[in-house]
């Protein structure tokens, strides 16, 4: 382990605590990444320095919260090359997908239209579109993936309204060519929605360069706190969208029979904002901008080698951060349980992406995923854990 990696790990308090008496090898960052001390401290400070309710008072603590929330939005927006006014703060990627499905979808999708999703989508980027199509009488088309796990976008029907894809698959670890897809989708007169939950921690994201129309992501996948995320959308799309959820904070005036709504992004943020979460989100964005991610590809390659060397069968051809696999006929839950006893945190199950497991002929898989604090010693610990799995089930 290099001195740089050792120093970085010291920034993550959760890594210091042993698991079952063993050093923790945390290989479940695709589910939730760990938080560095800077983010933890920022969230804690928010409770002391900005505990008021943003946009709802003139006293000092309310004004401090308002300033902190505005500053946080600006930092997160800058992290993806966006304007703050085009960034809606949500409770996460799932809420962002549902916001677009409801606020944009209900106004623009009707009987006979088509929405396209890919075969590898997380349920959060599938079910909202299923429900929208069922409600509006539209057709849900599926773009298949090849044996490597790459999306094969078909020729788009004349009335295709939107294509929804993951930037990085949470099961396969494949990277979608977003800029190329955006050009094809726009040529067909449709819009492109991107689920960026797995991408933001591992790839540089510039929404202008990508050329998409919507981009959603979550703080807890990129070293931030849970319960906060963002939707970026092109300004003219947000301007044309009616609010999905209504209530306090998103209005300019209210009478008993009508209400006037604020301009974007505020009209999409009903209720008291998660100010501590937003502050932590911004601190995670700063942390990510400063962290050196150059070693991730080397650790990822070592992870692939270790799993295949242990007799595992990898699903697809992973390119980034994630490796999902099966091991003989051993149930993934058993793999993860034994690995946990060896201090290795893995995910097991269908990872909220059942259709792609069906595509590859398996009901479930084990998944190892890395982050900036992952090293080859984690991979070696996983290899020993998998050897233990084989020993138990031989």
Per-domain residue ranges for the chain?
3-30+293-393, 41-289
Query: 3-30+293-393: what fold?
Result: 3.90.1150
Q: Extract the tokens encoding 57.
A: 């008072």
CATH number of the structural domain 41-289: 3.40.640.10
Considering only the C-alpha atoms of the chain, give the largest distance between any 2 of them, rounded to a whole number of Å. 71
**Beta bridge pairs of residue 117:** 142, 164
Element (H, E) at 118: strand 114-118
Domains 3-30+293-393 and 41-289 equal at CATH topology level? no
CA 78 to chain CA mean position, Å: 18
Query: The pTM is what?
Result: 0.97
How far is the C-alpha of 117 from the C-alpha of 122, rounded, in Å? Answer: 10
How far is the C-alpha of 178 from the C-alpha of 37, rounded, in Å? Answer: 33
Cite the active site residues: 352
Whether 191 contacts 178, CB under 8 Å: no
Q: Extract the tokens encoding 119.
A: 């075969």
**Beta bridge pairs of residue 231:** 88, 216
**Beta bridge pairs of residue 19:** 22
In the numeric block, the tokens 């929605």 are attached to 193
Whether 243 contacts 106, CB under 8 Å: no
Listing from the earlier edge strand, what are the strands of the sheet with 322-327? 312-314, 322-327, 365-369, 347-349
Per-residue model confidence as pLDDT tens for the chain (394 residues):
687 999 999 999 999 999 999 999 999 999 999 999 999 999 999 999 999 999 888 999 999 999 999 999 999 999 999 999 999 999 999 999 999 999 999 999 999 999 999 999 999 999 999 999 999 999 999 999 999 999 999 999 999 999 999 999 999 999 999 999 999 999 999 999 999 999 999 999 999 999 999 999 999 999 999 999 999 999 999 999 999 999 999 999 999 999 999 999 999 999 999 999 999 999 999 999 999 898 999 999 999 999 999 999 999 999 999 999 999 999 999 999 999 999 999 999 999 999 999 999 999 999 999 999 999 999 999 999 999 999 999 8
């Amino acid at each position: 382990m290099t001195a740089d990696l050792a120093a970085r790990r010291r920034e993550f308090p959760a890594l210091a605590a042993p698991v079952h008496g063993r050093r923790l090898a945390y290989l479940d960052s695709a589910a939730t990444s760990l938080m560095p001390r800077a983010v933890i401290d920022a969230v804690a400070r928010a409770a002391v320095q900005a505990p008021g309710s943003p946009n709802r008072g003139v006293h000092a603590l309310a004004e401090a919260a308002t300033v902190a929330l505005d500053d946080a939005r600006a930092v997160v927006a800058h992290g993806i090359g966006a304007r703050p006014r085009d960034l809606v703060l949500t409770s996460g990627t799932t809420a962002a997908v549902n916001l677009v499905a409801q606020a944009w979808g209900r106004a623009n999708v009707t009987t006979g239209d088509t929405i396209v999703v890919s075969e590898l989508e997380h349920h959060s980027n599938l079910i909202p579109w299923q429900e929208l199509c069922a409600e509006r009488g539209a057709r849900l088309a599926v773009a298949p993936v090849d044996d490597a796990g790459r999306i094969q976008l078909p020729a788009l029907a004349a009335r295709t309204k939107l294509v929804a894809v993951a930037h990085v698959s949470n099961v396969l670890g494949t990277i979608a060519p977003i800029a190329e897809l955006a050009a094809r989708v726009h040529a067909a007169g449709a819009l492109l929605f991107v689920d960026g939950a797995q991408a933001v921690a591992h790839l540089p994201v510039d929404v202008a360069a990508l050329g998409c129309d919507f981009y959603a992501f979550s703080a807890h996948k990129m070293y931030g706190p849970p319960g906060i995320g963002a939707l970026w959308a092109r300004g003219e799309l947000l301007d044309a969208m009616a609010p999905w959820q209504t209530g306090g904070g998103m209005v300019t005036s209210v009478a008993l029979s009508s209400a006037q709504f604020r301009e974007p992004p505020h009209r999409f943020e009903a209720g008291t904002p998660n100010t501590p979460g937003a502050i932590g989100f911004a601190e995670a964005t700063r942390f990510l901008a400063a962290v050196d991610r150059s070693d991730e590809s080397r650790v990822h390659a070592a992870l692939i080698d270790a799993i295949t060397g242990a007799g595992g069968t990898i699903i697809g051809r992973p390119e980034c951060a994630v490796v999902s696999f099966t091991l003989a006929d051993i149930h993934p839950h058993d793999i993860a349980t034994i690995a946990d006893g060896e201090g290795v945190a893995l995910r097991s199950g269908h990872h909220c992406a059942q259709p792609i497991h069906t595509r590859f002929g398996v009901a479930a898989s084990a998944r190892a995923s890395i982050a900036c604090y992952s090293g080859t010693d984690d991979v070696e610990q996983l290899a020993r854990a998998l050897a233990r799995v084989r020993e138990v089930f031989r």
